[in-house]
Chains A and B, each alone.
Chain A
């Protein structure tokens, strides 16, 4: 049994009448690359804010390293490196000032590593934050998140709004963090392609509810995609037991299902249709079939 670094139990959160999170429970194992996926407004940032102690759990509980991040912010935040979606950095500081400023907060700040990252990201230590480009801001934010060698790296939509080069760099840094340190990475994204490449565990949020949460291997193993063919064109989408989604037209239809597919296969055959192809769907197909 792998030790967990984050435990969320029955977390529910409302903002006014709007339910942002509904009974969310998840466990993040140490050393995993955990991808949190969902559309905009699905509750990803709200969940991350609870983990960082920026929101108090009103219903349910949140434990990071076995501690409550609201009650013990020093014990928790000192071991987390965080890159928020809006990358709020003080505009008036220079890069070198920003590095010294952050160093003061983190006893584990590694000066040599910070300098190495600064050179690697081609950041000029004399440059002011206000004059940085979007990509440079993301790099600077990532430097601040990494240089104290955190046990958990939390990235909220790390690549949103970035050009492919910087996106690649940010993802590369995630890859290196895991390869070098064996540390835990938690990142949210609505880019399923990038989650499928980098993550080994995935949680899917939809309208505040957890739709699936498991290792990527397990999620893929549980889902099947069939292409079925009828003798006659079908006017409407065939209703099949256990099907998450069924799309197509005429004689050929693509069906996605979760778990035991035997019942579905039986139903297909009973209708005189044949299965012409069976494969495992991509994460994107799984996600779309789950939320639509």
Chain B
């Protein structure tokens, strides 16, 4: 698990861990049932106060992203987490917003943009596009 901590932008460190772990789970770079590094290990790896890591893990547990097994550390919760879906939407929404902003600057209207999305999708998914042509 690779996390990047920054002290430049004023976001509390525990929150940076929470957000990045949520992202990793949503992006399936952390699989359900996978063990997270111990509090001590992650604190040493990131060179941060262990209490900060413990706080992030507790928050993630409350949010249902992680579960604890008594005395055996923290694990990614088994699938079906409603949070993963929400995180997916959040990640995509951010990208959509950027795309829309750029399109607007370039005077590309929504209809054209959606047309291009369909076109790109057909190119990336040959199977789907064949089906479309037959249907």
Contacts and interface: CB of A to CB of B under 8 A. Distances in A.
Interface in B2-56: 5, 7-13, 39-40, 43-44, 46-52
Contacts of A166: none
A256 to B, nearest CB: 10
11 contacts: A175-B49, A178-B51, A179-B39, A179-B43, A197-B48, A200-B49, A220-B10, A279-B9, A280-B11, A284-B8, A285-B10
Interface residues of A, number: 27
Interface string A160-198: 000000001001100110111000000000001110111
Contacts of B13: 196-197
Central interface residue in B11, B13, B44, by most chain A CB within 10 Å: B44
B47 A198 contact: yes
Interface string A218-246: 00100001000000000000000000000
A178 B47 contact: no
A193 B7 contact: yes
A10 interface: no
Interface of B: 5, 7-13, 39-40, 43-44, 46-52
Contacts of A279: 9-10
Contacts of B9: 279, 282
Interface of A: 33, 168, 171-172, 175-176, 178-180, 192-194, 196-200, 217, 220, 225, 279-285
A175 B10 contact: no
B47 A197 contact: yes
B50 A178 contact: yes
Contacts of A171: 47
A199 B44 contact: no
A175 B50 contact: yes
Contact of A283 (B7, B43, B46): B7
Nearest to A196: B7
Given A175-B44, A175-B47, A175-B50, A197 B10 contact: no
Instruction: List the 6 closest pairs (A to B, CB-CB), nearest first.
Output: A179-B50, A196-B7, A179-B40, A282-B10, A197-B48, A280-B10
Contacts of A179: 39-40, 43-44, 50
Interface hub of A168, A179, A180, A225 (most chain B Cβ within 10 A): A179
Contact of B7 (A33, A175, A197): A197
Contacts of A281: 10
A197 B49 CA distance: 6
